[in-house]
Amino acid sequence: MSNFSVTNIGPMNSWREHFGGFVPETSRDGRRVVDHELDSEVIGFTATAYEPGEEAGYWHSHSTLEEVYVFLEGEGQMGLDDHVIDVGPGTVVHVGTGVMRTWRARPDSPTQLRWLCLRAGQIPLPAIPDDAVPIRDIPMPW
């Protein structure tokens, strides 16, 4: 048995159709907890789509996990402790442990605000490429 798993989250314009979350109180349209569909042990991953004007409606922080938000489409804002930053396509935000966070799609966003959030924190990441060695004598499969 190989140590990989595969799922398909579909094109970004279909993300809003998914209803999901971690607990019933924070489940909603447009949230997909992708790591629940995979055999991931130390990496969490969500795909989210908010309508213009929609917001999380709560703050949260993590004591162990770091998160990286990769914004792909739309215009929004993130609250990070005492700061508010604008986010949009290409914005990547790292949020460390203990930082309070929340987010919203701007009411005037021309499209849904769509982003990926990656969570990890079980062990420190290895320095790359120290974790892997390129093997160049195996033919490519294509």
Q: What average pLDDT score do residues 107-123 get?
A: 93
Q: What is the pLDDT of residues 41-67, one digit of tens each?
A: 888 899 999 999 999 988 999 888 899
Kindly report which listed range (44-53, 83-92, 100-109, 124-133) carries the lowest average pLDDT score.
124-133
User: What's the CA angle centered on 110, arms 113 and 99, to 5 degrees?
Assistant: 30
Least confident of 95-99, 107-111, 127-131: 127-131
The answer to whether the CB of 73 falls within 8 A of the CB of 12 is yes
Average pLDDT over residues 129-133: 62
CA distance 123 to 87: 28
